[in-house]
Amino acid sequence: MKVAIVHDYLKEYGGAEKVLENLVEIFPGAEIFTLVYFPSFLGPHKKRFEKLKVHTSFLQNVPFAYKLISPFRLVAPFAFKRFDFSKFDVIIVSQTGAYVPNSINKKNAVQICYSHTPPRYLYGFATARNWKKNVVMRAVGEVVNHLLRIADYKASQNVDFFISNSENVKERIKKFYRRDAKVIYPPVSVPKVKASKAGDYYLTGGRLARPKHTDLIVETFANLDKELKVFGKGFAGYGEELVELSGDKTEFLGEVKDEDKFKLMRNAKAFIFASEDEDFGITPVEAMALGTPVIAFRSGGALETVKEGKTGLFFDQLTVESLTQALKKFETMNWKREDVIKNSKKFEGSNFKKEIKEFVTSKGK
C-alpha cells in the first residue's frame, strides 16, 4: 500500500505537525505533499522533517513566499490540484484549517482526511489575524470567504473517510460538511516521570496567537504577585504586545525543545490555557500527562480533556477577573498529581498509532 500525506504548509511546529510526524512513523516511506516548506522558520524543530521526502507546490518559488502564508489561501485549492497522486493507493490529508487541502485530484486513491478543524476563518471561529477591523478588508474578505466556503465544501465531498481529532471537530464536520467522522485523539507522548512536588511558577505557551489569548494570561499575572513562564513563538507582532503587557515576574522563553518544555511542565504549579474555540489542544494534555493540573477557559477541546476538580479548573469568561478567581480557587485546593497523570492515559501516542493504522488499513486498497 503506497501512502501519500498531504499537509497544509510547513513553517511552524505545533500539534498538527506532531501528528504529521506520527503519521510518517506509522507509514514509513510515505511521501509528504505540502504547499510550502520553510525549515529555517521551525527553530529548534527544523531537523524533524529534513530526512523526509517533501514535495512542495509552485508557490514555494514565489518571492517572499514565507510572508504570504495568509494570502496563499486564495490560490491554495488550485495549487493542491496540481500535485500528481497517480502512483498512490491511499492519501491521508492532514487538514490543519489553514487552506483547502481536500481539493486534491486523488485519481484512484482512497482519500482519508484527518481533520484538526475545517478552516476557522471560513466559519466564524477566532483566528490569529483580526482582518475584520478594517472596513474595506472586511467587505472584500466576506466575498472571498464566501467563494472559499463553496470550494471547501466541494472539496470535503472529495473525501472518502473523515477522522476528527475531537468530538468538538466531529460536530464541525457534521455541521459544515454534512459528513460523519471517526474520532481519534491526537498523540500525546511525554517522558515517563514520577509525580513530583510542584514548583513556584505557573506556565503557559505553545503557538502565541490571538485566539490563544496569551495576552489575557500575561495581563492577569502582571496584576498578581505570581511568577509566570511563557514559551513559544509570537505571531506578527503579537509577541511584542505580550512583552509590553507583562509584569516583572513574567519570563518569556521563546521556542523551546521538547525536553525543556516537558521539564517546565513537570515543575509548574499549573498550566494556563485560555484558548478560544480550541479544536483539541495538545499542550494542556501534555501538562496533565506529566502530573500538572490545567486552568482552562471553558471552551472547545478542553471540555473533553480536563476533568474539573480532578485534573484542573475552568474559568468562564475571557477576563482578568474570571481568570484571577480561578487562580485563587486553584490555590485553595489539594491536587493529587498521580490522579492528573492517570486521566491522560487515553491520549498516549501508542493509542493514536494503533487506531490510525487499523483505520487506514481497513479502508485502504
Interval 1-53: pLDDT, tens = 899 999 999 998 888 998 999 999 999 989 999 999 999 888 888 888 888 89
CATH fold of 201-347 reads Rossmann fold (3.40.50)
Separation CA 172–CA 282 (nearest Å):
19
**To 5 degrees, how large is the angle CA 65–CA 68–CA 69?**
105
pLDDT of residue 349: 72
pLDDT of residue 343: 80
Domain boundaries, the chain: 3-187+349-363, 201-347
Separation CA 144–CA 109 (nearest Å):
30
pLDDT of residue 207: 82
User: What is the sign of the dihedral through the CA atoms of 183, 189, 192 and 193?
Assistant: negative
pLDDT of residue 100: 94
User: What is the sign of the dihedral through the CA atoms of 83, 89, 93 and 94?
Assistant: negative
Interval 158-214: pLDDT, tens = 999 999 999 999 999 999 999 999 999 998 888 776 656 678 899 999 888 888 899
pLDDT of residue 137: 55
Cβ count near 53 (within 10 Å): 12
pLDDT of residue 135: 56
Mean pLDDT of 326-332: 95
Please write down the HEC assignment for all residues of the chain. CCEEEEECCECCCCHHHHHHHHHHHHCCCCEEEECCECHHHHHHHCCCCCCCCEEECHHHHCCCHHHCCCHHHHCHHHHHHCCCCCCCCEEEEEECCCCCHHHCCCCCCEEEEEECCCCHHHCCCCCCCCHHHCHHHHHHHHHHHHHHHHHHHHHHCCCCEEEECCHHHHHHHHHHHCCCEEECCCCECCCCCCCCCCCCEEEEEEEECHHHCHHHHHHHHHCCCCEEEEEEEECCCHHHHHHHHCCCCEEEEECCCHHHHHHHHHHCCCEEECCCCCCCCHHHHHHHHCCCCEEEECCCCHHHHCCECCCEEEECCCCHHHHHHHHHHHCCCCCCHHHHHHHCHHHEHHHHHHHHHHHHHHHCC
Q: Do domains 3-187+349-363 and 201-347 have the same CATH topology?
A: yes
Nearest to 194 by CA among 32, 364, 337: 337
User: Which of 23-32, 93-102, 307-316, 334-343 bottoms out in mean pLDDT, i.e. has the lowest?
Assistant: 334-343
- Under CATH, to which class is 3-187+349-363 assigned? alpha beta
pTM, two decimal places: 0.86
Nearest to 284 by CA among 300, 305, 269: 305
340 to each of 137, 166, 238, 285, 286, how far by Cα in Å? 45, 20, 32, 10, 11
